[in-house]
Structure 1
Amino acid sequence: MKLNQQPILILAILFILGIFIQDFFSLDQNFVYFIIIICAFILAITFLKNYYLHKAKPYLLGFMFFGIGIILHFFNAFASGNVSVSKNETIIFKIAKKLNSSDKNRKYEGVIQAGKQTFNAVIYIPKSEKELDFLHYYQAQAYISKPKPPQYDFQFDYSKYLLRKNIEYQCYINDKIAEAERKDLSFTEKFSQKRLEVLQRIDEAGMSSRSKEFLKGIILADRTEMDVQTVQDFNRSGLVHFLAISGTHIVVIFGLFYLLLIKILPLKFRKYAIISSLIFIWLFIIFIGFGSSVLRSGLMLSIYFVYVLLQRKPDLLHSLSLSAFIILIFDTQQLFDVGFQLSFCAVLGIYWLNQLILNYFPIQDNWLKKLIFNTVSISVSAQLATLPLVLYYFHQFSFISIAANFFIVPFSEAIIVFSFLMTIFITLNLDFNLMNVAYDFIIQLLLKVIHWFADFNHLFLENIPMNLFEVFALFLIVYFLRFFILKPKLKNFTIVMTAVFAFYILRIGFNSYENEREEVLFHDFSKNQVLSVKKENNVCFWIEENSDQRKIIQFIINPYCSSRRISNYKIKTFPKDVKKVVYNGKIYNFN
Structure 2
Amino acid sequence: MITRHRGEIPVVLLLLPFIAGIACAIWNTDGQPYPWAVALLVLLATAFILLNLAYQSLRLYHYRWIGTLLIIPILFLTGLLFTLSRNELNHADHFSRQQAAKYLLVNINSEPSVKNDVPRFTADVLGAYDGKAYYFTSGTLLISIKDKLATNLFYGEQLLIPANYSAPDPPFNPGEFNYKQYLANKHIHQQAYLYPGQYRVLGSGKGNKLISYALQTRQKLVDKLRHNMKDTTAIAVASTLILGYKADLSADVMQTYAKTGTIHILSVSGGHVAILLGLLVYILGFLHNKRTRVFKAVIILSVIWAYAILTGLSPAVCRAAVMITLIIAGKTYSRQLNSLNLLAVSAFVLLLYDPYLLTDVGFQLSYLAVAGILILQPVIYNLLSVKNKWLDKLWLACSVSIAAQVATFPLSIFYFHQFPAYFIISNLLIVLPVGLIMYAGLLLLVLPQWPLVSQSLGWVLEKSILMMNRMLTFVEQLPFASINKLWISRMELLLLSCIVIMVAYFLYSKSKRAFIATAVGCLVLFTSFSVRKISADNKNMVVFLNARKQQAIVFKHGEKGIVITNMKPTDKAFTYSVQPCLDSMQIEDYRLLPFTADVRKPYFLKKDALVVFGTKKFLLLNDSSRFKSIGSYKGINYAYFSDNVLVDSSVSHLPLIISANNSERYIEKVQTLSNKNYILKRNKALLLISN
Residue in structure 2 matched with residue 161 of structure 1 by the alignment = 182
Residue in structure 2 matched with residue 68 of structure 1 by the alignment = 78
Residue in structure 1 matched with residue 303 of structure 2 by the alignment = 280
1:192 aligns with 2:212: no
Gap change, CA 1:262 and 1:589, over 3 Å in 2: same
Q: How big is each residue's C-alpha offset from its partner over 1:332-388, in whole Å with a ceiling of 9 and x where there is no partner?
A: 10000011110111111112210122224455775x556533322111100011010
Q: 2:498 aligns with which of 476, 492, 498?
A: 476
Deviation at 1:143, TM superposition (A): 6.2
**Matches of residues 438-517 of structure 1 in structure 2 within 5 Å?**
438-456=460-478, 458-486=480-508, 495-517=517-539
Gap change, CA 1:497 and 1:9, over 3 Å in 2: same
Which amino acid is the alignment partner of residue 23 of structure 2? F
Gap change, CA 1:370 and 1:86, over 3 Å in 2: farther
Deviates more, 1:278-287 or 1:546-555: 546-555
Residue in structure 2 matched with residue 203 of structure 1 by the alignment = 226
TM-score, structure 1 length as denominator? Answer: 0.89
Q: Is the 8 A contact 1:88 1:144 kept in 2?
A: no
Match of 1:262, SS state, is coil
Deviation at 1:237, TM superposition (A): 1.2
**Root mean square deviation of aligned Cα:** 3.2
Output the CA distance in 2 between the equivalents of 1:294 and 1:539. 44
Q: How big is each residue's C-alpha offset from its partner over 1:276-334, in whole Å with a ceiling of 9 and x where there is no partner?
A: 21221112112222111111111122222233233222211101111111111121100
Deviation at 1:97, TM superposition (A): 1.9
Match of 2:337, SS state, is coil
Deviates more, 1:326-335 or 1:34-43: 34-43
Residue in structure 2 matched with residue 120 of structure 1 by the alignment = 140
Deviation at 1:455, TM superposition (A): 2.2
Deviation at 1:420, TM superposition (A): 1.9
Q: 1:572 aligns with which of 574, 589, 593?
A: 593
Deviation at 1:227, TM superposition (A): 1.3
Q: 2:110 aligns with which of 97, 108, 111?
A: 97
Q: Is the 8 A contact 1:150 1:156 kept in 2?
A: yes
Deviation at 1:551, TM superposition (A): 2.1
Which amino acid is the alignment partner of residue 96 of structure 2? V
Q: Is the 8 A contact 1:201 1:426 kept in 2?
A: no
1:584 aligns with 2:613: yes
**Matches of residues 188-267 of structure 1 in structure 2 within 5 Å?**
188-263=211-286
Q: Is the 8 A contact 1:198 1:426 kept in 2?
A: no
Which amino acid is the alignment partner of residue 319 of structure 1? L
Q: How big is each residue's C-alpha offset from its partner over 1:55-91, in whole Å with a ceiling of 9 and x where there is no partner?
A: 3111211121111111111111221725268999776
Match of 1:574, SS state, is coil
Q: Is the 8 A contact 1:123 1:170 kept in 2?
A: yes
Residue in structure 2 matched with residue 11 of structure 1 by the alignment = 14
Output the CA distance in 2 between the equivalents of 1:278 and 1:341. 24
Which amino acid is the alignment partner of residue 589 of structure 1? A
Residue in structure 2 matched with residue 560 of structure 1 by the alignment = 581
Output the CA distance in 2 between the equivalents of 1:339 and 1:223. 15
TM-score, structure 2 length as denominator? Answer: 0.77
Residue in structure 1 matched with residue 321 of structure 2 by the alignment = 298
Deviation at 1:151, TM superposition (A): 1.8
Structure 1 gaps of 5+ residues are none
Deviation at 1:242, TM superposition (A): 1.4
Q: How big is each residue's C-alpha offset from its partner over 1:377-436, in whole Å with a ceiling of 9 and x where there is no partner?
A: 111100011010000011111212222112223443232222222232378999722222
Residue in structure 2 matched with residue 58 of structure 1 by the alignment = 68
Q: 1:414 aligns with which of 433, 436, 443?
A: 436
Output the CA distance in 1 between the equivalents of 2:423 and 2:392. 21
Residue in structure 2 matched with residue 22 of structure 1 by the alignment = 25
Residue in structure 2 matched with residue 133 of structure 1 by the alignment = 154
Which amino acid is the alignment partner of residue 155 of structure 1? E
**Matches of residues 228-377 of structure 1 in structure 2 within 5 Å?**
228-263=251-286, 268-363=291-386, 372-377=394-399
Deviation at 1:548, TM superposition (A): 6.8
Q: How big is each residue's C-alpha offset from its partner over 1:96-135, in whole Å with a ceiling of 9 and x where there is no partner?
A: 2236554453322223566447542222245844443236
Match of 2:551, SS state, is strand
- Identical residues among aligned pairs (%): 20
Gap change, CA 1:140 and 1:33, over 3 Å in 2: closer
Q: Is the 8 A contact 1:398 1:459 kept in 2?
A: yes
Match of 1:97, SS state, is coil
Match of 2:474, SS state, is helix
Deviation at 1:447, TM superposition (A): 1.4
Output the CA distance in 1 between the equivalents of 2:163 and 2:222. 27
Residue in structure 2 matched with residue 551 of structure 1 by the alignment = 572
Output the CA distance in 2 between the equivalents of 1:125 and 1:364. 62
Residue in structure 1 matched with residue 124 of structure 2 by the alignment = 111
1:149 aligns with 2:159: no
Which amino acid is the alignment partner of residue 10 of structure 1? L
Q: Is the 8 A contact 2:236 2:246 kept in 1?
A: yes
Match of 1:526, SS state, is coil
Q: Is the 8 A contact 2:240 2:266 kept in 1?
A: yes
Gap change, CA 1:281 and 1:205, over 3 Å in 2: same
Q: Which has the larger radius of gyration?
A: 2
Match of 1:542, SS state, is strand
Which amino acid is the alignment partner of residue 121 of structure 1? L
Match of 2:334, SS state, is coil
Match of 1:532, SS state, is strand
Q: How big is each residue's C-alpha offset from its partner over 1:12-52, in whole Å with a ceiling of 9 and x where there is no partner?
A: 01111111122223564323323333343343334232345
Deviates more, 1:238-247 or 1:506-515: 506-515
Q: Of Structure 1 and Structure 2, which has the larger fraction of its residues in helix?
A: 1
Match of 2:16, SS state, is helix
Output the CA distance in 2 between the equivalents of 1:563 and 1:531. 15
Output the CA distance in 2 between the equivalents of 1:483 and 1:437. 48
Q: Is the 8 A contact 1:133 1:193 kept in 2?
A: no
Which amino acid is the alignment partner of residue 475 of structure 1? S
Gap change, CA 1:363 and 1:527, over 3 Å in 2: same
Output the CA distance in 2 between the equivalents of 1:84 and 1:507. 46
Residue in structure 2 matched with residue 45 of structure 1 by the alignment = 50
Deviation at 1:567, TM superposition (A): 3.2
Deviates more, 1:451-460 or 1:511-520: 511-520
Q: Is the 8 A contact 1:105 1:125 kept in 2?
A: yes
Deviation at 1:251, TM superposition (A): 1.1
Q: Is the 8 A contact 2:297 2:329 kept in 1?
A: no
Deviates more, 1:350-359 or 1:44-53: 44-53
Deviation at 1:184, TM superposition (A): 3.9
Output the CA distance in 2 between the equivalents of 1:359 and 1:9. 25
Deviation at 1:443, TM superposition (A): 1.4
Deviation at 1:517, TM superposition (A): 4.4
Q: Is the 8 A contact 1:463 1:561 kept in 2?
A: no
Deviates more, 1:445-454 or 1:105-114: 105-114
Q: How big is each residue's C-alpha offset from its partner over 1:162-189, in whole Å with a ceiling of 9 and x where there is no partner?
A: 1222222223333167645524442333
Q: Is the 8 A contact 1:15 1:66 kept in 2?
A: yes
Match of 2:96, SS state, is coil
Q: Is the 8 A contact 1:334 1:340 kept in 2?
A: yes
Match of 1:355, SS state, is helix
